[in-house]
Structure 1
Amino acid sequence: MDWLVSLIGAAIVLVILRDLFHTLWHPTRHGGLSRIVMTGLWRLLPPGRAIRGATGLVGPLGMVGVVVMWASGVAVGWALVYWPHLPEGFAFSSSLEPAEHSGPVDALYISLVIVATLGLGDIAPAEGWLRVAAPLEALVGFALLTATVSWVLGIYPALARRRTLALRICHLRRAGLMPRQLESDAGAAVLDGLACDITRVCVDLTQYPESYYFHDGPGDTSLARTIGFAADLAEQARLAEHAGVRLAASMLAAALDDLAAVLQDRFLHTRGTAQQVLTAYAHDHGSR
């Protein structure tokens, strides 16, 4: 029975490590614990129907929730590994009575001290395999901290690129760009630049799918609200007489199709054309 509890704890740790791996280093469309947390918050506080001011917090709160889940899972899992072996498998300081410090709370205390690499020393592993397991937990704690910092440093530049693209599209719309103005090398360059930027957003949504659950706001920084104008430009430019413009329009249309495919496959699950998927994307981000 003791070993069964330890195996359950080890299984919890492995589940957390698997989720960490698939969230940061091998994102998949099949989701995991982190995707469940992010999606749950998004559905709980959808744009347009959320409590005032709470919508913009869904992404950051989701990330905090995921990190807390990872840390709690690792700490509780390792506590279950240690608990059946208290007090025999541990050495206690002279000020502690081993029989009085062998409960689940004490096991959790030991786990938290080790995962945080505090090294207080009042309770230390004494049994052979426990002396190996404890440093492994410390390494997992250090890896968790490093992964969290890397996640934050990766996801916010992705959000900046998405919002920059939205502003660029908005600037083109406010400039009153007309189809005849696209009949030039400059028009082709504009369309080609949009295609490149949309491709980067596709890569960001694939590498950091959690970025989808960050609300860009109701203004010009919302890609969901502005992407329709890029689709209109691609449709208009396909009829241009300038060969370079037609080629750039085809590339922009292909980039928009790829974006719609990513949104459909990973987030929206809307069966329809690329235009319908982009419309569903705008609706999901609060655009009416």
Structure 2
Amino acid sequence: MKWLVSLLGAGLVMAALRDLFHTLWHPTRHGGLSRLIMTTLWSLARRLRARRRVVGLVGPLAMVTVVGMWAVVIILGWATIYWPHMPGAFTFAPGSSAAQQSALLDSVYLSLVMVATLGLGDIAPADGWLRLVSPFEALIGFALLTATVSWVLEIYPALTRRRVLAIRLALLQRSDPSGRQLDSTVGAALLESLATEVARVRIDFTQYAEAYYFHDGEDHSSLAATIGYAVALAERGQTARRADVRLTADLLAGALEDLATILDQRFLHTDGTPAEVFAAYAADHGRGLAQP
């Protein structure tokens, strides 16, 4: 029975590590606990759409909640591993009152100390297998801290790339280049650079799916509000006389179609055309889609 309880704890630890791995290093569209937390918070925020401050906190709050969930599951998992073997398989420092506490409380305490890499030493494993296994909790705690810092450092550059593209599209819409201006070498270079930026954002949505749940502030910095103008520019370029402009317009249209596919598969599930997907994307972020 003791080993069954310990195996249950090991299963909890593995579940948390699997979720961490798939969220940070091998993203898939098959959501785990982290994806469930993010989608739930996003759904709740949509009901509070009028309160922009609340919506703007969804992304950071979701990341904090996910990291907290990983830490709690790992701590409870290791505590469950220790619990059946407490106190017999552990030694206690002289004068420590830990041995008079409940076995469950001591197990949670030891797990907290180990995952935080404090090394207080008032409770230490005595059995050989525990002495070999328990240091792995400290390694997992260090890995969790490192992964959290890396996650934060990686997500904000992705958000910056998305917002830069949105602002660029807003500025282009404001100047609204004519068909004649677009049908030129400069127009071809413009469409090609937009295709490259759209492809980068598409990769960001694949690699950092949690970026979808970050609010972008005003309309001019929201890709959900401005992506429609990129579609209009692609359509305008496809009717140009110059072959290089038509080619780069096709590249932009293809990049936009790929982006729509990712948005629909991972978040929106409309099974619609790219135009319908982008309209749903704008609605989901409380925006009106930019029109030509």
Aligned residue number for residue 121 of structure 1: 121
Q: Could you tell me whether the CA contact under 8 Å between 1:237 and 1:246 is conserved in 2?
A: yes
Aligned residue number for residue 29 of structure 1: 29
In structure 2, distance between residues paired with 1:179 and 1:285: 31
Quickly say closer, same or farther: Cα 1:237–1:124, change in 2 above 3 A: same
Once the two structures are superposed, what CA deviation does each residue of 1:31-67 show, in whole Å capped at 9, x if it has no partner? 1111111111000102872534111100000000000
Q: List alignment gaps of at least 5 residues for structure 1.
A: none
SS in 1 for 2:8: helix
Alpha-carbon offset, residue 102 of structure 1: 4.0
Aligned residue number for residue 213 of structure 1: 213
Aligned residue number for residue 85 of structure 2: 85
Once the two structures are superposed, what CA deviation does each residue of 1:96-122 show, in whole Å capped at 9, x if it has no partner? 256413421211000000010000011
Aligned residue number for residue 137 of structure 2: 137
Aligned residue number for residue 274 of structure 1: 274
**Large movers: runs of 4+ above 6 Å:** none
The reply on whether 1:112 has 2:129 as its aligned counterpart is no
Alpha-carbon offset, residue 94 of structure 1: 1.1
Q: Which amino acid aligns with 1:34?
A: S
Q: Could you tell me whether the CA contact under 8 Å between 1:83 and 1:102 is conserved in 2?
A: no
In structure 1, distance between residues paired with 2:176 and 2:204: 29
Instruction: Provide TM-score, normalisation by structure 1.
Output: 0.97
Which 10-residue stretch deviates more, 41-50 or 134-143? 41-50
SS in 2 for 1:124: strand
Once the two structures are superposed, what CA deviation does each residue of 1:254-284 show, in whole Å capped at 9, x if it has no partner? 0000000000111101111111001101111
Aligned residue number for residue 165 of structure 1: 165
SS in 1 for 2:139: helix
In structure 1, distance between residues paired with 2:262 and 2:174: 28
In structure 2, distance between residues paired with 1:57 and 1:44: 12
SS in 2 for 1:72: helix
Q: List alignment gaps of at least 5 residues for structure 2.
A: none
Quickly say closer, same or farther: Cα 1:183–1:92, change in 2 above 3 A: same
Quickly say closer, same or farther: Cα 1:85–1:164, change in 2 above 3 A: same
Root-mean-square deviation over aligned CA pairs? 1.2
The reply on whether 1:234 has 2:238 as its aligned counterpart is no
Once the two structures are superposed, what CA deviation does each residue of 1:150-172 show, in whole Å capped at 9, x if it has no partner? 11111110000000000011111
Aligned residues: 288
SS in 2 for 1:53: helix
Aligned residue number for residue 194 of structure 1: 194
In structure 2, distance between residues paired with 1:18 and 1:24: 10
Alpha-carbon offset, residue 19 of structure 1: 0.4
In structure 2, distance between residues paired with 1:199 and 1:20: 26
Once the two structures are superposed, what CA deviation does each residue of 1:220-252 show, in whole Å capped at 9, x if it has no partner? 110000000000011111110011110010000
The reply on whether 1:155 has 2:159 as its aligned counterpart is no
In structure 2, distance between residues paired with 1:94 and 1:38: 46
SS in 2 for 1:27: coil
Alpha-carbon offset, residue 71 of structure 1: 0.5
